[in-house]
A and B are shown apart, each in its own frame.
Chain A
């Protein structure tokens, strides 16, 4: 077996977000989370539901198994049987996420997508994040517009905000992160092989909790590597969606 690439570690780290999730909808946004969700479905989380990216629920081979138009997808969100992995233009140390705009909201320097479903996602079902290019421009002290709600903002908003709020993990091209600290601030969980803690700190715009002996992200098994390379992504799309190491 050849050397495992950074993109393949990212796929594994994304797939791990859905381990032990049971029978819920995996909603990956973007190509790397999509590969991760499908890999999880084919291996350790076989009960996951997947969509075709539009209105259909599909099985591991892409065969039709259900109907999920937008209006029903929103019930999947509020019903809680879902774990989404969203992107983020900005993400702060408590997990507040921004996909709306950069600069003042009234007249932004850069208009982005808009809040989309981030406010309801974060209050209703587990939300993880995928950041393809880890940099201080993304990992900021304070986001310009809170779309996805972080731990500090949820706590301040009260029990109906915290009741179902959970951010299981953040995966970037440098490592895996969570918020399992006393003040619910971001913590480095594992480094992708070849990355150092110093490199991550340099690329993060806020103080990050990191132990001295941070482990490396686990390598794929032989089966997983074969599935990624031969079944899920034979054209190597994954390499074009992970920041240069």
Chain B
């Protein structure tokens, strides 16, 4: 059996500038933040990012790594608007493909199923059609004759996701209330990298429905405890709300200087020190 374990830096060494990169999680929930931080340490740039956006998008946008973003929204959840993303958009820093959530979900399904598109009853009538002039509609060949948007497949070169547990082969488990779309991201990508809170020797005794990601769609596995920080990763840890608030309100250079200059270990250490200073 193939042992797929690797480090976050080894994952990033397999990424390249100009690629299309999917990022799992949702808003400020179970984002593969340690992998995003590793990406920030690398020279990889000019990315097309596909994400239900949260601080993953904020960090990459602030660091100027995004050429195009494909998303239905960007939010920090408890802070509705992502300030780094907003600032970058208001500077006109990158191109945007803004699509509806259903178009996003069915775009992932289309990619995972090797279909060019799937029809959705969403988009027509809205300005999603105006801002994405490449979008096309399809007419039902049946008696109803209805017109739908052909949500294009969101095929990606690589996907990054974070789950609660994984084995060395790439099987991965979520333990929180929501799988988000992480399995679909892995299936829609040519290569998928799963970071996890804890590596396990197998899933004997696990509730089988929690085994979200199959090794067949996984290229690499990284153990990164607290690797979703500062987003939530229930039930291992909740969102670090006060840290997120600090992230959202501290000037970018200052935040990057203090937290993003070193490796993941020094990030986690800097976070701990920041919390100790506050108490």
Contacts and interface: CB of A to CB of B under 8 A. Distances in A.
A111 B100 contact: no
B127 A105 contact: yes
Interface stretch (A66-74, A127-135, A197-205): A66-74
Contact of A145 (B123, B124, B127): B127
A124 B124 contact: no
A77 interface: yes
Given A109-B90, A115-B100, A156 B73 contact: no
B181 A123 contact: no
Nearest to A164: B121
Nearest to B73: A114
B124 A106 contact: no
Given A69-B179, A120-B121, A146-B126, A160 B100 contact: no
A153 interface: yes
A53 B279 CA distance: 30
A113 B102 CA distance: 16
B36 to A, nearest CB: 19
A108 B127 contact: no
Select the residue from B92, B120, B125 with max chain A CB neighbours within 10 A.
B125
Interface string A165-187: 00000000000000000000000
B102 A78 contact: yes
A105 B100 contact: no
A77 B102 contact: yes
B21 to A, nearest CB: 19
Interface stretch (B80-88, B160-168, B217-225): B80-88
A149 B125 contact: yes
Contacts of A157: 124-125
A119 B122 contact: yes
A98 to B, nearest CB: 8
Interface residues of B, number: 41
A44 B121 CA distance: 32
Interface residues of A, number: 46
B46 to A, nearest CB: 19
Contacts of B147: 158-160
A117 B127 contact: no
Contacts of B53: 114
A115 B98 contact: yes
A71 B148 contact: no
B106 to A, nearest CB: 9
Interface string A89-122: 0000000000011000111111111111111101
A55 interface: yes
Given A71-B181, A106-B92, A161-B124, A116 B72 contact: yes
Interface in B154-180: 177-180
Given A54-B178, A55-B178, A69-B178, A115 B99 contact: yes
A105 B177 CA distance: 35
Contacts of B124: 123, 157-158, 160-161
B231 to A, nearest CB: 14
Contacts of B131: 105, 145
Contacts of B130: 105, 146
A119 to B, nearest CB: 4
B98 A113 contact: no
Contacts of A78: 102, 120-122
A14 interface: no
Interface string B78-121: 00110001100111100000111111010000000000000011
B111 to A, nearest CB: 15
B146 interface: yes
B28 interface: no
A119 B128 contact: yes
Contact of B73 (A107, A115, A148, A163): A115
A25 to B, nearest CB: 15
A120 B122 contact: yes
Contacts of A109: 90
Given A153-B126, A157-B124, A113 B75 contact: yes
Nearest to B99: A115
12 contacts: A54-B178, A78-B102, A101-B89, A105-B130, A108-B90, A109-B90, A113-B80, A114-B75, A114-B98, A115-B98, A119-B102, A153-B126
Interface of A: 54-56, 67, 69-71, 74, 77-78, 100-101, 105-120, 122-124, 145-149, 153-154, 156-161, 163-164
